[in-house]
Amino acid sequence: MGASGSAVRVGADSLCQFVSDLFVHMGWKRSEGDTVADHLVVADQSGHPSHGTGMLGTYVDSFRAGAIRPGAEPADRPAAPPFAVIDANFALGHIVALEAVDRAVGMVGQYGVGIVNVIRAHHMGRIGHYAERAADAGMISMFWANVYGRAPLVAPFGGTQARMGTNPHCIGIPRVGQPPILLDFATSRIPLGKARVAHTRGVPAPEGSLLDHLGKETRNPAVMFEEPAGALLPFGDHKGYGLALVAELLSSALAGGETIAELDDAGLIANNLLAIVLDPTRLGQDPESVSERIERYLRWVTDVPLAEGVDAVLAPGDPEFDSRRAHAGSVELSAGGLARLNAAAAAAGFRPFTA
């Protein structure tokens, strides 16, 4: 375990093992613990601690409250291929979402497209993880999710109180021999997890990202963790608000999942997810030609005079992949992040993390 300022660098493998062991201790199967651990540690390495091991405290709280439980069995609801609907029964979302992508990819072989709606899942984590799974199979993918089961976090454009979750939007486009183009973002200016990170580190939130409980703009991230709580603002004003609203409806209303208006006090973070996976070769173009055009366009877009203070123009997903290369085999945890990790373990009656 190495230290850098107030951060500690730990081995990724040892952190994965610890997280998996924690879930096994709480009653999940080893394979399930491994899946969740891989997801969370990759999120940390990708520069998204808000969706990484920092979520363990929330998961343990949901477990202790009985909101999630080992052995929860997802079940199919009636749907005909290339459609599928999975009622997750509040099983661990990381596992059910991977199953959904794999099923969608499986349907692509016969139908050219696979469309899967997952409803009533526990928190799925970083949605880009699933776009990468589809891209590994050579597939384009699109995802919309809502966030419910807890109080709303995001104010609609023009409003002063929260009415929505951070409802992510994600698209993945595979590339030959390169990481995919990966567009994955919350529809709020910042996700709640990043407000939590700012609050823990004692730094202000970005300008224009928060309202206090009186509806006034603020940079103090503490407003999201006080009562009465403030609200996150949508990115791009009406644009982010519109995407959040559409993500809510597409992920939930089509197959009978709850919207946040129908279930906002269940004591857990739940997701519904609509996944559309398609085979780009079914559009009639030669795959090599498509790949060449993608790479040519990316070179043209990124080969541009740079603004002051900017080192390079990046494609969507490049920051995450660059972060992973910089943290190959390791994870950097803040001192607060390490403390929260061990607090979560202690709450579950488990040992502290030692590298």
The one-character DSSP state at 250 is: I
E strands present in 102-163: 113-122, 140-148
Q: Does residue 282 register a pLDDT over 80?
A: yes
The answer to whether the CB of 173 falls within 8 A of the CB of 135 is yes
pTM, rounded to two decimals = 0.94
pLDDT tens per residue, range 98-126: 999 999 999 999 999 999 999 999 999 99
pLDDT, residue 88, reads 98
By mean pLDDT, which of 109-118, 229-238, 265-274 is the weakest?
265-274
Full set of structural domains in the chain with CATH: 1-77+327-355 (1.10.1530.10)
pLDDT, residue 143, reads 98
Average pLDDT of the chain? 95
pLDDT, residue 197, reads 80
pLDDT tens per residue, range 83-99: 999 999 999 999 999 99
Q: Residue 5: pLDDT band by 50, 70, 90 thresholds?
A: low
Share of the chain above pLDDT 90, in %: 90
Q: Where do the H-state alpha helices sit in 112-209?
A: 128-136, 192-201
Q: Which residues of 206-229 are buried (b: 16+ CB within 10 A; e: fewer)?
A: eeebbbbbeeeebeebbbbeeeeb
Q: Which residues contact 248 (CB under 8 A, 6 or more apart)?
A: 146, 164, 165, 167, 259, 260
Q: Does residue 331 register a pLDDT over 90?
A: yes
Q: Does residue 3 register a pLDDT over 90?
A: no
pLDDT, residue 252, reads 96
CA distances from 291 to 235, 236, 296, 302, 307 (A): 31, 31, 9, 17, 29
pLDDT, residue 240, reads 97
SS3 assignment, position 354 = coil
Sign (positive/negative) of CA torsion 246, 138, 93, 166?
negative
Share of the chain above pLDDT 70, in %: 98
pLDDT, residue 194, reads 83
Q: Does residue 267 register a pLDDT over 90?
A: no
pLDDT, residue 279, reads 96
pLDDT, residue 264, reads 76
Q: Does residue 268 register a pLDDT over 90?
A: no
pLDDT tens per residue, range 28-62: 999 999 999 999 999 999 999 889 999 999 999 99
Q: Does residue 205 register a pLDDT over 70?
A: yes
Q: Which residues of 109-136 are buried (b: 16+ CB within 10 A; e: fewer)?
A: eeeebbbbbbbbbbbbbbbbbbbbbbbe
pLDDT, residue 7, reads 83
Q: Does residue 198 register a pLDDT over 80?
A: yes
Cα 55 from chain centroid (whole Å): 11
